[in-house]
Amino acid sequence: MPGKQENLTRKFIVNGYMPKIAISAVIGFFTGLVAVMFHAGLGIAEKVVRIPWSGENALPWWSFCFVPVVGGLLVGLIVYAIAKAPETAGQGTDNMIRAFHNEGGVVRKRVAPVKFIASIITLATGGSAGYEGPISQIGSGIGSNLSRLFNMPKSMRGIFTLAGTAAGLGAIFKAPLAGAITSVEVLYREDFESNAFVTSIVSSVVAFTVYIAIVGAEPVIGGVPTIPFTSGGELLACALLGVICFPFSYLYVRCYSESETRFARWKAPNWIKPAVGGLFVGVAILAFPQVAGGGFDFIGEVMHGLMPHTWLGVLFLVGVVLAKIVSTAFTVGSGGSGGVFGPSLFIGGVLGAAFGGACELVLPGIVRVPEMFILVGMAAFFAGAAKAPIAGVVMVCEMTGSYSLLPGLLIAAVMHIAFSRPWSIYKSQVLNKFASPAHRGDVDQDVLRITTVGDVVEHCEMKVLRAEDSLSDVLKDIEVNYVYPVYDQGRYIGLLDMSVVKTAYISTPDLIQHLLISDCTVKAPMLTDSTDLHTALRIFVQSRISELCVKNANGEVVGTLSHDAIFKAYDRIVNQN
């Protein structure tokens, strides 16, 4: 009986349209409550942390630079030593994207509470990060665990994981439409997850309703005047700002990536790394206190009268931008818990303010309201850094409660993306659905069956290795990043496994001198150029190897074919048709 009830429940949830909406509403309700608790908890934590710097016996302001170190140490101990949940370190949105593409939408139960606590500590102690990463990952955890409770298939887990993400974003930014769009757009560089849009809309709206019922409906950035957009000159200025954003977004992505890579390679206990990152953030705070925490208060101050009126003011804002880029890289890249979405909005807004001030100094009066560039910069910078043009534009409109600048926001976002296509702040993004492991089952098998390996093989002259040769002698003449077929007395036996070679070299370098090619050979089938791609894909899955050699009808090795090349070929063929 329990088995029949389980199957009935699963069929009801998966196949029914209304049950999907109901589940999405439940996810939105609980995520909205968590967003309220996060908002309240962060407010309390910030007041407690800042007690020593308030009142008559307040500590000197510069001493606050040590607080991010303490916060980083606490986060490191909680994430790595106590909870043992390393996936809660760093930015939450990218972890959600990776879970969707590669982990079947599975998010461990402990992720939500650990991320909740660690993010509050990071932000309250001055870490430069965003609110959206924690809430989006917490929401995705709620959606994932609820779908697992009903034993849903992998495809449905992914959809409800996105519903949780949308709910978190829609609530914390008071932007229900933007929350839904962001959740389905940030997964890909040139695509979006259309199957999840309805469920994301429902969960985002419900979470938004719960959140504003308790916290209030005022926009995140309030007091923005209505700025009608009627000038062609202003449109050109917006396009120029979009272009100006691209070197800063490159620097933002590069600094974050470099920080994350170097901290990952650093042979030190993981729990100490966020504290070291906090040390660098403290130095940045000494020069520019505005970079501490989320920073939206500073955006509001600039919007309401602190626009630069001198070149010194413009340079100051550029300095704030650079300091925010570096401090965010150290906060999140070292393992501090937070998002990179919020800082990208901050960077774009301050950069827009600097651009608006420069326009007034060079051509006074050309722009009626220079403050407009703050909003344009926010939308353009996030759109280009995250490859989410619609999400960035709608998010800024809803955060400010104003849609009057929509044409300028759109053109600036498009111009930034046009110049920044090679990089993204979310490293787990893939190009489109065809490149996502989550959609491997959606591939049209007929296309693969009528396309052969010979049609897509990467032709190259292959160096054939002999099993009895010395490994040390062969390594002098081969590239370590390629595959090589190995033959034993004229019979193909497999491929040289460079991972084995590298492991042997790192562990005992002298061992290389005594190994033969046969000692480092892994069994792997050889594809023929007449094999169809559908069969080749099955061979890849069975062999669990990412690249194989290809031979022609005469048995000659003519090139290689990788697992990813099959899907790139599929994508190319479908788009041509």
Q: Is the CB of residue 123 less than 8 Å from the CB of residue 326? A: no
If you average pLDDT over residues 187-213, what whole number do you get? 90
The answer to pTM > 0.85 is: no
Alpha-carbon separation of residue 502 from 181, 471, 483, 506 (angstroms): 44, 12, 14, 6
Helix (H) or strand (E) holding 550: strand 547-551
| Phi, psi angle pair for 437, to nearest 5° | -60, -25
| pLDDT, tens only, 36-50 | 999 999 999 989 998
Classify residue 78 by its DSSP letter. I
- Tell me which of 29-38, 42-51, 545-554 is least confident: 545-554
Most confident region among 233-237, 331-335, 520-524 by mean pLDDT? 331-335
Q: Is 266 helix (H, G, I), strand (E, B) or coil?
A: coil
**Other C-beta atoms lying within 10 Å of the C-beta of residue 6:** 12
Question: Do β-strands 458-459 and 485-488 pair in parallel, antiparallel, or remain unpaired?
Answer: unpaired
| pLDDT, tens only, 445-467 | 667 777 888 888 888 877 888 88
pLDDT at 352: 92
Helix (H) or strand (E) holding 566: helix 563-576
Classify residue 430 by its DSSP letter. B
Q: Is the pLDDT of residue 541 over 90?
A: no
Dist CA 234 CA 248 (whole Å): 22
Q: Is the pLDDT of residue 177 over 80?
A: yes
pLDDT at 300: 76
Helices (H), 50-153: 67-76, 92-102, 111-124, 132-149
Banded model confidence at residue 230, pLDDT cuts 50, 70, 90: low
Length, in residues, of the chain: 577
- Tell me which of 29-38, 62-71, 227-236 is least confident: 227-236
Q: Is the CB of residue 349 less than 8 Å from the CB of residue 299? A: yes
